[in-house]
């Protein structure tokens, strides 16, 4: 009598990509739960951009003229301003991303993650995804406030949603810069300062808050090749907040003449470069 041995099937193993995605979502969920338990993090993140909207609209709005619009037109400045405020809001999330990662490093949480069988890049990816969700919530609140003060879109809903998608993509790209900063400093306070100090010149030497026309010639070139400016201009076009007949560029810069493509290229390039650097820094810092 012969005995036939039954072959037990080998256990299925996840691919590296699937494992990375699963681990990233787990870390993202952990960070979102933490944010919900500390609601003041979200509250303070919303208050600052709302203050910028109110201050720029009612303090500077009457004294800044938009070329091609009636002099002193408050509505023209509101339509001009909001894309810049939205873009500033998503990029300022960089400081929060850096501070959060620096805090995890300082408390030794990263060392605990190292002891688990998980993809190395998942810790950073999960953190940046959680920050993206928080940024999206902030944008929703900010858009409601903007509508209340008189901002309006003049394009179809799909185009408007595409404008917000480009803004969120820029915010996600900049969160990787914040991740690299958070891994490169010793304290959360240093990460916050390091995440903001370079953002102010980046956002103000741009087309976000004032027209580029009034800047010195060399700053006009800097502003129109600024990746921040490309996303702002793309959002304005998709929201229908441009002025008909007004030249899109003062210097003839390609990003201003093709802002949607330029915004996509800049954001994807930033993600590729800084995600690579951040993951490499994470591995060397925890080796």
pLDDT in tens, 177-189: 999 998 888 788 8
Residue spans of the domains in the chain: they are 19-63+70-285
Instruction: Please report the pLDDT score of residue 8 as a whole number.
Output: 45
For 78-112, how does the pLDDT look when each residue is reduced to its tens digit (9 = 90+)?
A: 888 899 999 999 998 888 788 888 887 777 766 67
Tokens read off for 223? 């502003």
Asked whether the predicted pLDDT for residue 113 surpasses 80, the reply is no
3-state secondary structure 267-282: HHHHHHHHHHHHHHHH
What percent of the chain stands above pLDDT 90?
A: 38
Instruction: Please report the pLDDT score of residue 264 as a whole number.
Output: 97
In 3-state terms, what secondary structure has residue 42? helix
Instruction: Please report the pLDDT score of residue 62 as a whole number.
Output: 67
Instruction: Please report the pLDDT score of residue 161 as a whole number.
Output: 96
Instruction: Please report the pLDDT score of residue 44 as a whole number.
Output: 76
Name the pTM for this structure. 0.87
Instruction: Please report the pLDDT score of residue 277 as a whole number.
Output: 93
Band (pLDDT 50/70/90 cuts) for residue 4 is: very low
Q: Which residues of 41-50 are buried (b: 16+ CB within 10 A; e: fewer)?
A: eeeebbeebb
Asked whether the predicted pLDDT for residue 193 surpasses 60, the reply is yes
For 215-258, how does the pLDDT look when each residue is reduced to its tens digit (9 = 90+)?
A: 999 999 999 999 999 999 999 999 999 877 677 888 889 999 99
How far is 153 from 82, CA to CA, in rounded Å? 10
């Amino acid at each position: 009598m012969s005995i036939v041995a039954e072959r037990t099937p080998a256990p299925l193993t996840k691919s590296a990509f699937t494992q990375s995605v699963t681990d990233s979502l787990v870390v993202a969920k952990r960070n979102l739960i933490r944010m919900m338990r500390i609601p003041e993090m979200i509250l303070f993140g919303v208050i600052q951009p709302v203050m910028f909207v109110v201050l720029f609209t009612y303090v500077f709005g009457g004294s800044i003229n938009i070329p091609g619009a009636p002099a002193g037109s408050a509505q023209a400045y509101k339509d001009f301003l909001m894309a810049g405020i939205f873009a500033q809001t998503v990029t300022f999330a960089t400081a929060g991303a850096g501070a959060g990662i620096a805090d995890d490093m300082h408390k030794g949480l990263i060392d605990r993650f190292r002891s688990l069988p998980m993809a190395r890049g998942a810790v950073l990816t999960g953190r940046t995804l959680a920050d993206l969700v928080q940024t999206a919530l902030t944008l929703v609140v900010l858009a409601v406030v903007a509508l209340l003060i008189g901002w309006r879109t003049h394009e179809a809903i799909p185009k408007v949603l595409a404008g917000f998608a480009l803004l969120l993509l820029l915010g996600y790209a900049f969160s990787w810069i914040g991740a690299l900063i958070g891994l490169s400093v010793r304290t959360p306070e240093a990460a916050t300062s390091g995440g903001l100090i370079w953002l102010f010149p980046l956002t103000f030497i741009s087309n976000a808050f004032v027209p580029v026309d009034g800047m010195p010639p060399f700053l006009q070139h800097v502003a129109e090749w600024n990746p921040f400016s490309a996303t702002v201009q793309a959002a304005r076009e998709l929201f229908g907040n441009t002025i008909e007949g007004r030249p899109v560029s003062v210097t003839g810069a390609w990003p201003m003449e093709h802002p949607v493509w330029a915004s996509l290229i800049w954001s994807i390039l930033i993600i590729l470069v800084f995600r690579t650097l951040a993951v490499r820094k994470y591995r060397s810092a925890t080796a």
